[in-house]
Structures are given as structure tokens and as C-alpha cells.
Amino acid sequence: MKNTVLQNSVQLNDEVVTKLKKEKEAKETLVSEKKPERVKRLTVVDMWNIHKNGRSASALIRRWNLN
């Protein structure tokens, strides 16, 4: 059995550390304003179709036993 051990800390190059220290200001991007998309509402017909097409576990077992 092989045991591989990784270091817990990350070592950065001196160049990277100095570059990070120089950049004091974070660059931000703004999201353009766009109109919210219309959300389809759940209607009574949708709820009826969900109920009609729903299959219970007992119904599936009954069908499985018949085949």
C-alpha cells in the first residue's frame, strides 16, 4: 500500500507574491441590465397532468408482478 503525502501549504513564486501585493484594487465587471424573463406559472391543468401521469411505487410493483 502506497501512502502519498501532500503539503498543506501552497508555495508561491516571489514574482507572483509581488504582483499580488501591487494589485490593491480588485477588477470588477458590471452585469448589463436585462429584462427578467417571464416565468411560466403552474396552472390547475399542469397540476392535473402531474397527478394523472404520476406513478406510485405500488402500481409499478403490481405491473412488474403481472409480467
Confidence of residue 45 (pLDDT cuts 50, 70, 90): very high
- Comparing CA positions, the residue from 22, 24, 5, 2 lying closest to residue 14 is 22
In this prediction the pTM is 0.31
Q: What is the pLDDT of residues 11-30, one digit of tens each?
A: 778 888 888 777 766 667 67
Share of the chain above pLDDT 70, in %: 78
Q: How far is CA 50 from CA 22, 53, 54, 55, 63, in A?
A: 58, 5, 6, 10, 20
- Comparing CA positions, the residue from 2, 1, 20 lying closest to residue 10 is 20
Q: For residues 8-12, give the mean pLDDT.
A: 75
| Nearest-angstrom CA–CA distance, 59 and 29 | 54
Listed in sequence order, the residues at least 6 apart from 20 whose beta carbon sits closer than 8 Å to its beta carbon are 12
Q: For residues 26-49, give the mean pLDDT.
A: 80
